[in-house]
Each structure stands twice: as structure tokens, then as C-alpha cells.
Amino acid sequence: DGTEFSVDSRYYSAAKKKLSPKGITVTLGGGYQSFFDKAKERGYKKVGIDFTKVTVYDFEYFKTSGLDFVDISGEIREITAKKTERELSYIQKACRIAEKSWKETLNFIEEGVTETDVANELEYRFKKNGASGPSFDTIVAFGKNAAVPHHETGNTKLKRDQCVLMDFGCLYKGYCSDMTRTMFYGKPSDEFIKAYSAVWLAHEEAARFIKDGVSGTDADAIARKVLEERGYGKYFTHSLGHGIGVNIHEYPNLSPRSEWTLENNMVFSNEPGVYIDGKFGIRIEDSACLSGGEYKSFMKDDKKLILLGDGKIRKLKTF
């Protein structure tokens, strides 16, 4: 019978303007009950639901409808994991904006600024460069705060000889980008350079290894092996990557327990990290996809260690 999109009055006009030209019928709905009533009116007895997005409370309510609900979360994951060319172009644009905004923000980073100051400057740049906003809460972590992978950006002030970890992304036409860079303000210690080198190599080895047909488990294992061989295995405390699309975390996942095989047009992050409590944290992350059977990063930066301070931005050429 075609496709119908049901929304409440707050979104009706905007949805109709955007979807009607595409042959999608937009109707006014009043939540679950309105949907159930329409299903019954049309003689439907079975309804597909993404069970991963439903609360126990809602599901108990569903059972009072008299309809039969079927879990279609697997089908939805399969459909959304592989992007269309248009979706890929939107994600690429989101990545370009994120990377450009980050590079512009580097000039803002100086001794005494707070993590929140830097995050606000970056997010201002997102919108100035064409994004609708951040794709998740921007993480800016100075010094030992970077040892917490999902540190909550706060009012810590930057001091000389500290690392600066920035995990960020923006939205373009509803699609996300995700990127992490770790810089150093001042002069890095040999210990920091050694750890950074290991993370950089893990990222590069994973990028070289990932191809059409590679499992998410094996991709994670390659990066993990590089870090383990250099003595950092126990400091890599999360998985290598996750899918990226209209949500910042979706499928496929690249982890020790992943059940996914990577295929063309899948978009995912490549983000090995090392976190040494009380000292520093390092993560290097690109958004990437498989194109023509090969790994393709959406970012252009070479990921070599950036040194900040004294009004200069330099790269450590050898490490």
C-alpha cells in the first residue's frame, strides 16, 4: 500500500514538505495507540518492531493492543549498516566540516583555556562551516583527564606540558562524523611519545588490514596485537570501532565479540587508544568506510603528533 510516515502536530508540516514529493504519505498520529488503531483498521495482525529501541514499559503496553509483534532489529541493522552513495556523501561532508573546524580551533588552544572553552570554540566552528551542530557531546580532556576515555568536558585549565585529547563530530543533513585527535601542549616526554607511536601504528596497521570480507573481530585483533607487542595491551580498554550513520554508534562493530563481516559501503570508526591512569590518555580516531573493497578514511590529516605552544603549531616528524 506504499509508505506512510506518522508524526504528531509538532513535526507534521515539516515532514509533509520533505516527504510528500517522494511519494510518502504523511499523517497526523497520536503515538502508539493511533498507530495500533490504524493497523487494525487496515486488517494488519502482525507488526514489525525494532526490539532494541523499545522499553519494557512500552512493550507491556504493546501487548494490550491485540496485535502480534515481531522483532525486526536484525533486518534494520543489515539495511542501515550499508550506506547509499548519498548517505556516504553526507557523512564525508560531515567529516570534512569536523576536520576543518578542528584545525581552525588549534589556534585557540593556549595555556589557561578550559576544556569547556575549547569545546565551545569547536562547536561554534561546526555551525560556521555548515554543520547543524555536534553529533554528540564534545570531549575535551587535558592531561590526566584524558586517561578517562569518555571524560566529561569541564573547567580544567590547560597547563604547559599536558596532552590535549579532543573527541568530536558534527551533523550534516542528519548524518554523523566522529574523530579524535590527541595533541601535546609544550614538550612531550619520551614516555608519551612512545605511547603515541604505538597508538598511531595500531591505527595504521588496522587501516591496512581492513578490507571487504574481514571480520570485525579480526580488525580489532590487529590493532590490539600491535599495542600488546609494545606493552600497552592492558591500557587499550575499549573496542576498535563502531558503525556511524544517522546515529553516532550503530553497526557494524569492530570488537573482540563482533559478529559482523565488513562489506563495501559500511561506515565505521578506527580508534585505538592507550589510557594510563593519573598520567595521560591517547586516542586516534578516523571515520572510515569500505569502498571498492578497500579501506578509505574520510579524514585527510596524517595523524602525526601535533605540538602546540608559544603560538605555534608543529608536527613531530619522527617518532
Give residue-wise pLDDT tens across range 230-289: 999 999 999 999 999 999 999 999 999 999 999 999 999 999 999 999 999 999 999 999
Pairing relation of β-strands 267-270 and 286-291?
A: antiparallel
> What is the predicted pLDDT for the residue at 10?
92
Extents of the domains making up the chain: 4-81, 85-315
> What is the predicted pLDDT for the residue at 38?
84
| Whole-angstrom distance, CA of residue 235 vs CA of residue 286 | 20
CATH class belonging to 4-81: alpha beta
| Whole-angstrom distance, CA of residue 39 vs CA of residue 27 | 13
Q: For residues 174 and 244, is the Cβ–Cβ distance under 8 A?
A: no
Assigned C-alpha cell, 164: 590535549
% of the chain at pLDDT higher than 90: 85
Taking the alpha carbons at both ends of the chain, their separation in whole angstroms is 62
205-240 in b/e form (b: 16+ CB < 10 A) is bbbeebebebebbbbbbbbbebbeebebeebbeebb
Q: Classify domain 85-315 by CATH architecture.
A: Alpha-Beta Complex (3.90)
pTM (2 d.p.): 0.92
> What is the predicted pLDDT for the residue at 2?
75
pLDDT-wise least confident of 123-137, 162-176, 225-239, 302-316:
302-316
Q: For residues 185 and 158, is the Cβ–Cβ distance under 8 A?
A: yes
Facing residues of 183 across strands?
A: 164
Predicted confidence (pLDDT) at residue 318 exceeds the cutoff of 70: no
Tell me the three-class secondary structure of 92-119, residue by residue. HHHHHHHHHHHHHHHHHCCCCCEHHHHH
Neighbours of 56 (CB within 10 A): 7
Query: What's at 31, amino acid-wise?
Result: G
Pairing relation of β-strands 162-168 and 179-185?
A: antiparallel
Assigned C-alpha cell, 78: 543489515
> What is the predicted pLDDT for the residue at 319?
61
Q: For residues 207 and 272, is the Cβ–Cβ distance under 8 A?
A: no
Instruction: Give per-residue pLDDT as tens, 33-65.
Output: 888 888 888 898 998 999 998 899 988 988 888
> What is the predicted pLDDT for the residue at 28?
86
Query: What's at 263, amino acid-wise?
Result: E
Residue 1 binned pLDDT confidence (cut-offs 50, 70, 90): low
Predicted confidence (pLDDT) at residue 208 exceeds the cutoff of 70: yes
Q: For residues 28 and 7, is the Cβ–Cβ distance under 8 A?
A: yes
Closest CA to 105 of 140, 76, 73: 140
Neighbours of 90 (CB within 10 A): 21
Sign for the CA dihedral angle at 115, 118, 122, 123 comes to positive
Distances in Å between the Cα of 243 and the Cα atoms of 89, 265, 290 are: 16, 11, 12
Which uninterrupted H or E stretch holds 194? Answer: helix 190-209
Q: In whole numbers, what is the pLDDT of the chain averaged over residues? A: 95
